A and B are shown apart, each in its own frame.
Chain A
Amino acid sequence: MKAACGIGVTETTVTAQGPILLARDVRKRFGANEVLKGVTLDVRRGEVVCVIGPSGSGKTTFLRCLNHLERIDGGRIEVDGALVGYRERPDGTLVEDTAREVARKRAEIGFVFQRFNLWPHLTAVENIIEAPIYVRGERRDAAIASAERLLARVGLADKRDAYPSKLSGGQQQRVAIARALAMRPKLMLFDEATSALDPETVGEVLAVMAELAAEGMTMICVTHEMGFAREAADRVVMMDDGLVIEEGPPEHFFTRPSNERTRQFLSKIL
């Protein structure tokens, strides 16, 4: 998990106290199916949290709720002290925020998708400068300069003008990470970022993520990569059936998990 150069996204400093993310009793249902049954999670600045658990346990849904790609049915989510997706009425009830406010909040939260979701009609560099220019109103030349730095840092400087269809899965995912970093997020969310990759390209993406972690980026990673969780995570969170059933430092998790379901799950995948 070593890399030649740093990612260099140091805007998010580790100095400030208090959780950068605060999720309280988050509930979400799809029709009759209650996917999240009250998930609570606090994440400190600079902390790297890996969320593991069997498929269908609600990990991905929880992550999608954190940047309001899914509405929540109960609970509250705050990033850097401000509600995400909702605003609070004087009587304490939450109502969905305006589209503009939701978008402004999302811009502070990087999201990396399992299927990359790069924009196929734009080149690598254009994928990265799109939001800085059209969301943050950056000048085009300034946006290109920082996009080129980001591309170099994920090891893809030579792919600047390549369209996504010409890139391998691992390369596409690294561009997608650069695209998220270009908005200088306070928090990065990774939704099974390596699950759709060929085995030989998994390593290059994990290396970029590990480097980002080492530089102090706050990260929440839904992952099946136990090696990554063991190496890079400050804390591992186990979800099952819409609830957090166990959490702790990786040493605790991978040596003597206390929960029976955690033990079963780990014995199956390790």
Chain B
Amino acid sequence: MVPAVNVEWPIIAERIFSPGQEFWRALVTTVTIAIIAQLLGIVLGLVSALAGLSRLLPVRLLSGAYVLIVRGTPLIVQIFFIFFGANLFFGFSLFPREVAIAGLTVSGAILAGIVALAFNEGAYMSEIIRAGIQAVDPGQMEAALSVGMTRPLAMRRIVLPQAARVIVPPLGNEFNGMIKNTSLLAFIGVYEMFFDAEVHYSTTFQPVEYFLAVAFWYLVLTTIWSVVQVQIERRLNPAEQMEETGVMGRVRRLQWGRAH
């Protein structure tokens, strides 16, 4: 059998062992975007989850519509409309070429990319956090109300710390997906890892080598993350979850630290 493609292995080796300055910057961009978007997605997801559990119907509907639309449409379409939408429909650019934030100059595309990924992630986190809150025995909230706590206080002090145990494992999977989803930002010109591969591929017309190499790098990032994830989940092991050594213990110590 003659292979249809003649893979030039030295190119792949070079992209793995000495990918160069541009690539490292792209990798840092990928990781930075993924972390910031994930954190914002968690915040957005928390807001949406609480809205979804609200007693007010319009608030619940708003949360439901957000989750339905975001989970039901392709991420790449969302990225497109968030980046170009304002210009297309209203004739102004929401994300100019460069934006100055806290003394840093950030490309508008990166900012739009973070917003789009966070907006998308928020819908998935909303469902995860809502499920986590609902997994906590309603008696926990009732006990908190019975000693005079208001619902928001009881949610923060009693329910959410317990929901966290249920939320963290799927959250780890979400971040794994987030790392790979950043590659879609190449579409709006963010110079992240996949864009770097595309730049090389478009000048050499050798997609196989560059795409295989960049896939390797995504695998490295997600593998590192899964090692971290295992460590985190081990700390949440039911056998020790309520002990001082567990994550809950550390979370509590942080809270007490603030209280003092």
Contact = CB atoms under 8 A, between A and B. Distances in A.
A84 to B, nearest CB: 12
B219 interface: no
A72 to B, nearest CB: 16
Interface in B115-144: 137, 139-140, 142-144
B151 A99 contact: yes
Contacts, number: 76
Contacts of B143: 111, 113, 117-119, 176, 179
A179 B148 CA distance: 12
Interface string B223-234: 000000000000
Interface stretch (A73-81, A127-135, A249-257): A127-135
A69 B150 CA distance: 12
A115 B148 contact: no
Nearest to B138: A117
* Category for how many chain A residues contact B: 35 or more
A119 B140 contact: yes
B157 interface: yes
Nearest to A122: B252
A130 B259 CA distance: 12
Given A69-B142, A117-B139, A121-B252, A140 B259 contact: yes
Main secondary structure of the interface of B (DSSP, over half): helix
B142 A106 contact: no
B11 to A, nearest CB: 53
A183 B148 contact: yes
Contacts of A103: 145, 148-150
B34 interface: no
B242 A120 contact: yes
A120 B144 CA distance: 12
A205 interface: no
A116 B145 CA distance: 14
A177 to B, nearest CB: 12
Given A113-B139, A121-B162, A183-B147, 15 more contacts: A69-B142, A99-B151, A106-B147, A106-B148, A117-B139, A121-B242, A131-B147, A134-B149, A134-B153, A135-B147, A135-B153, A136-B148, A140-B259, A176-B143, A183-B148
30 contacts: A69-B146, A103-B149, A103-B150, A104-B148, A106-B145, A106-B146, A106-B147, A107-B148, A108-B148, A113-B146, A115-B139, A119-B143, A120-B162, A120-B242, A121-B161, A121-B248, A121-B252, A122-B252, A130-B158, A133-B259, A134-B157, A135-B147, A135-B153, A140-B259, A176-B143, A179-B147, A180-B146, A180-B147, A182-B147, A183-B148
